[in-house]
Amino acid sequence: DWILSAIPPAGLVCGVLIYIPIRTLGYQRVYPILFAANIGLCFMMVLLADQGSTDLIIFFLAVYPTITGAVQSAGFHLVMSDMVLEMKRVHASEQRFDQPSLAGIFMGVNALFCKPADYILPVIAASSLGDSEISLEESEHGSDHVREILFRLLIWPPLIFSILQWIAWRSYTLTPAKTRQIRDELIRTASDRSKLGNVTSHRSTYS
Protein backbone atom coordinates (compact mmCIF):
# COMPACT_ATOMS: atom_id res chain seq x y z
CA ASP A 1 0.00 0.00 0.00
CA TRP A 2 2.75 2.44 0.90
CA ILE A 3 4.38 1.88 -2.51
CA LEU A 4 1.19 2.76 -4.37
CA SER A 5 0.57 5.79 -2.12
CA ALA A 6 4.04 7.07 -3.00
CA ILE A 7 3.32 7.10 -6.74
CA PRO A 8 1.72 10.61 -6.97
CA PRO A 9 4.55 12.43 -5.14
CA ALA A 10 7.13 10.37 -7.03
CA GLY A 11 5.54 11.51 -10.29
CA LEU A 12 5.81 15.14 -9.19
CA VAL A 13 9.46 14.71 -8.23
CA CYS A 14 10.26 13.08 -11.57
CA GLY A 15 8.37 15.87 -13.31
CA VAL A 16 10.64 18.44 -11.67
CA LEU A 17 13.73 16.41 -12.58
CA ILE A 18 12.86 16.15 -16.28
CA TYR A 19 11.73 19.78 -16.58
CA ILE A 20 15.27 21.06 -17.24
CA PRO A 21 16.13 18.60 -20.04
CA ILE A 22 12.71 19.29 -21.55
CA ARG A 23 13.40 23.00 -21.74
CA THR A 24 16.99 22.43 -22.93
CA LEU A 25 16.55 19.60 -25.44
CA GLY A 26 12.88 19.99 -26.29
CA TYR A 27 9.83 17.77 -25.90
CA GLN A 28 10.46 15.98 -29.19
CA ARG A 29 13.66 14.48 -27.75
CA VAL A 30 12.76 13.84 -24.12
CA TYR A 31 9.21 12.54 -24.51
CA PRO A 32 10.06 9.75 -27.01
CA ILE A 33 12.69 8.52 -24.54
CA LEU A 34 10.17 8.42 -21.71
CA PHE A 35 7.52 6.66 -23.80
CA ALA A 36 10.16 4.24 -25.11
CA ALA A 37 10.89 3.42 -21.46
CA ASN A 38 7.18 2.72 -20.97
CA ILE A 39 7.17 0.48 -24.05
CA GLY A 40 10.18 -1.42 -22.76
CA LEU A 41 8.54 -1.80 -19.35
CA CYS A 42 5.36 -3.18 -20.91
CA PHE A 43 7.29 -5.62 -23.10
CA MET A 44 9.19 -6.79 -20.03
CA MET A 45 5.88 -7.54 -18.33
CA VAL A 46 4.56 -9.35 -21.42
CA LEU A 47 7.67 -11.53 -21.70
CA LEU A 48 8.57 -12.14 -18.06
CA ALA A 49 5.39 -11.80 -16.01
CA ASP A 50 1.92 -13.26 -15.73
CA GLN A 51 -1.09 -12.78 -13.49
CA GLY A 52 0.73 -14.51 -10.65
CA SER A 53 3.89 -12.36 -10.74
CA THR A 54 3.01 -10.16 -7.77
CA ASP A 55 6.42 -8.51 -7.39
CA LEU A 56 6.67 -7.54 -11.07
CA ILE A 57 3.10 -6.25 -11.07
CA ILE A 58 3.85 -4.04 -8.06
CA PHE A 59 7.01 -2.83 -9.79
CA PHE A 60 5.00 -2.00 -12.92
CA LEU A 61 2.31 -0.20 -10.89
CA ALA A 62 5.02 1.87 -9.22
CA VAL A 63 7.11 2.77 -12.28
CA TYR A 64 4.61 3.25 -15.12
CA PRO A 65 2.32 5.79 -13.36
CA THR A 66 5.41 7.65 -12.15
CA ILE A 67 6.74 8.11 -15.68
CA THR A 68 3.30 9.00 -17.04
CA GLY A 69 2.67 11.47 -14.22
CA ALA A 70 6.07 13.06 -14.80
CA VAL A 71 5.29 13.55 -18.49
CA GLN A 72 1.99 15.22 -17.67
CA SER A 73 3.23 17.46 -14.87
CA ALA A 74 6.52 18.46 -16.50
CA GLY A 75 5.47 19.64 -19.89
CA PHE A 76 1.86 19.19 -20.97
CA HIS A 77 0.84 22.82 -20.40
CA LEU A 78 4.15 24.03 -21.82
CA VAL A 79 3.54 21.99 -24.96
CA MET A 80 0.07 23.51 -25.27
CA SER A 81 1.48 27.03 -24.86
CA ASP A 82 4.09 26.40 -27.56
CA MET A 83 1.43 25.11 -29.96
CA VAL A 84 -0.67 28.20 -29.22
CA LEU A 85 2.41 30.31 -29.92
CA GLU A 86 2.88 28.63 -33.30
CA MET A 87 -0.77 29.17 -34.18
CA LYS A 88 -0.46 32.85 -33.26
CA ARG A 89 2.47 33.10 -35.67
CA VAL A 90 0.36 31.53 -38.43
CA HIS A 91 -2.50 33.94 -37.76
CA ALA A 92 -0.10 36.89 -37.68
CA SER A 93 1.34 35.91 -41.06
CA GLU A 94 -2.22 35.82 -42.42
CA GLN A 95 -3.08 39.19 -40.80
CA ARG A 96 -5.71 37.49 -38.65
CA PHE A 97 -5.22 39.30 -35.36
CA ASP A 98 -8.81 39.39 -34.07
CA GLN A 99 -9.23 35.68 -33.39
CA PRO A 100 -10.90 33.93 -30.42
CA SER A 101 -8.76 32.60 -27.61
CA LEU A 102 -6.38 30.06 -29.12
CA ALA A 103 -5.63 28.57 -25.72
CA GLY A 104 -9.35 27.97 -25.23
CA ILE A 105 -9.58 26.31 -28.65
CA PHE A 106 -6.67 23.96 -27.87
CA MET A 107 -8.06 23.07 -24.44
CA GLY A 108 -11.47 22.46 -25.99
CA VAL A 109 -10.03 20.12 -28.60
CA ASN A 110 -8.05 18.32 -25.91
CA ALA A 111 -11.18 17.87 -23.79
CA LEU A 112 -13.17 16.74 -26.82
CA PHE A 113 -10.79 13.88 -27.66
CA CYS A 114 -9.07 13.02 -24.37
CA LYS A 115 -11.90 13.12 -21.85
CA PRO A 116 -14.03 10.49 -23.64
CA ALA A 117 -10.92 8.30 -23.85
CA ASP A 118 -10.85 8.16 -20.03
CA TYR A 119 -14.02 6.08 -20.14
CA ILE A 120 -12.99 3.63 -22.84
CA LEU A 121 -10.88 1.35 -20.64
CA PRO A 122 -13.57 0.87 -17.93
CA VAL A 123 -16.04 -0.10 -20.66
CA ILE A 124 -13.56 -2.61 -22.11
CA ALA A 125 -12.82 -3.97 -18.64
CA ALA A 126 -16.52 -4.38 -17.83
CA SER A 127 -17.13 -6.11 -21.16
CA SER A 128 -14.17 -8.46 -20.68
CA LEU A 129 -15.17 -9.37 -17.14
CA GLY A 130 -18.77 -9.83 -18.25
CA ASP A 131 -17.61 -12.43 -20.75
CA SER A 132 -15.91 -14.35 -17.91
CA GLU A 133 -19.09 -14.91 -15.85
CA ILE A 134 -19.56 -18.40 -17.29
CA SER A 135 -16.00 -19.27 -16.37
CA LEU A 136 -16.59 -18.10 -12.81
CA GLU A 137 -19.79 -20.12 -12.40
CA GLU A 138 -18.85 -23.31 -14.20
CA SER A 139 -15.11 -23.67 -13.72
CA GLU A 140 -13.05 -23.90 -10.57
CA HIS A 141 -10.31 -22.08 -12.47
CA GLY A 142 -12.55 -19.09 -13.14
CA SER A 143 -10.69 -16.84 -10.71
CA ASP A 144 -7.44 -17.49 -12.60
CA HIS A 145 -9.20 -16.48 -15.81
CA VAL A 146 -10.35 -13.21 -14.22
CA ARG A 147 -6.83 -12.46 -12.99
CA GLU A 148 -5.52 -13.14 -16.48
CA ILE A 149 -8.02 -10.67 -17.95
CA LEU A 150 -7.07 -8.02 -15.38
CA PHE A 151 -3.39 -8.60 -16.09
CA ARG A 152 -3.95 -8.08 -19.82
CA LEU A 153 -5.93 -4.91 -19.13
CA LEU A 154 -3.07 -3.71 -16.95
CA ILE A 155 -0.39 -4.21 -19.62
CA TRP A 156 -1.83 -3.95 -23.13
CA PRO A 157 -3.57 -0.54 -23.02
CA PRO A 158 -0.42 1.22 -21.67
CA LEU A 159 1.65 -0.58 -24.31
CA ILE A 160 -0.64 0.46 -27.17
CA PHE A 161 -1.00 4.08 -26.03
CA SER A 162 2.73 4.40 -25.31
CA ILE A 163 3.50 3.27 -28.86
CA LEU A 164 1.01 5.81 -30.24
CA GLN A 165 2.51 8.56 -28.07
CA TRP A 166 6.04 7.59 -29.12
CA ILE A 167 5.06 7.84 -32.79
CA ALA A 168 3.29 11.18 -32.24
CA TRP A 169 6.17 12.80 -30.37
CA ARG A 170 8.69 11.61 -32.95
CA SER A 171 6.92 13.88 -35.45
CA TYR A 172 6.77 16.88 -33.09
CA THR A 173 8.78 19.77 -34.56
CA LEU A 174 8.61 22.61 -32.01
CA THR A 175 12.19 22.67 -30.77
CA PRO A 176 13.37 25.29 -28.23
CA ALA A 177 15.22 27.12 -31.02
CA LYS A 178 12.08 27.21 -33.17
CA THR A 179 9.90 28.52 -30.34
CA ARG A 180 12.44 31.28 -29.65
CA GLN A 181 12.34 32.18 -33.33
CA ILE A 182 8.52 32.27 -33.26
CA ARG A 183 8.55 34.55 -30.21
CA ASP A 184 11.00 36.91 -31.91
CA GLU A 185 8.80 37.00 -35.02
CA LEU A 186 5.72 37.80 -32.94
CA ILE A 187 7.58 40.56 -31.11
CA ARG A 188 8.67 42.09 -34.42
CA THR A 189 5.15 41.79 -35.79
CA ALA A 190 3.69 43.51 -32.71
CA SER A 191 6.32 46.25 -32.97
CA ASP A 192 5.57 46.80 -36.67
CA ARG A 193 1.83 46.98 -35.97
CA SER A 194 2.46 49.50 -33.21
CA LYS A 195 4.59 51.68 -35.48
CA LEU A 196 2.01 51.43 -38.26
CA GLY A 197 -0.73 52.41 -35.84
CA ASN A 198 1.26 55.43 -34.64
CA VAL A 199 1.89 56.56 -38.23
CA THR A 200 -1.78 56.14 -39.10
CA SER A 201 -2.90 58.11 -36.06
CA HIS A 202 -0.48 60.95 -36.84
CA ARG A 203 -1.72 61.14 -40.42
CA SER A 204 -5.33 61.24 -39.33
CA THR A 205 -4.49 63.98 -36.84
CA TYR A 206 -2.81 66.21 -39.41
CA SER A 207 -5.49 65.58 -42.00
Task: Say what the pLDDT of residue 138 is.
Answer: 46
Q: Minimal CA–CA distance to 79: which of 14, 165, 191, 162?
A: 165
pLDDT digits (tens, 9 = 90+) for 96-144: 666 666 666 767 777 777 777 677 777 777 777 666 555 545 445 557 7
What is the signed CA dihedral for 69, 75, 77, 79, rounded to 10 degrees?
A: -130
Task: Say what the pLDDT of residue 4 is.
Answer: 67
Task: Say what the pLDDT of residue 83 is.
Answer: 79
H-run or E-run covering 93: helix 54-93
Q: Which positions of the chain have pLDDT values less than 50?
A: 136, 138-139
Task: Say what the pLDDT of residue 93 is.
Answer: 75
Task: Say what the pLDDT of residue 14 is.
Answer: 80
pTM of the model: 0.74
Task: Say what the pLDDT of residue 204 is.
Answer: 54
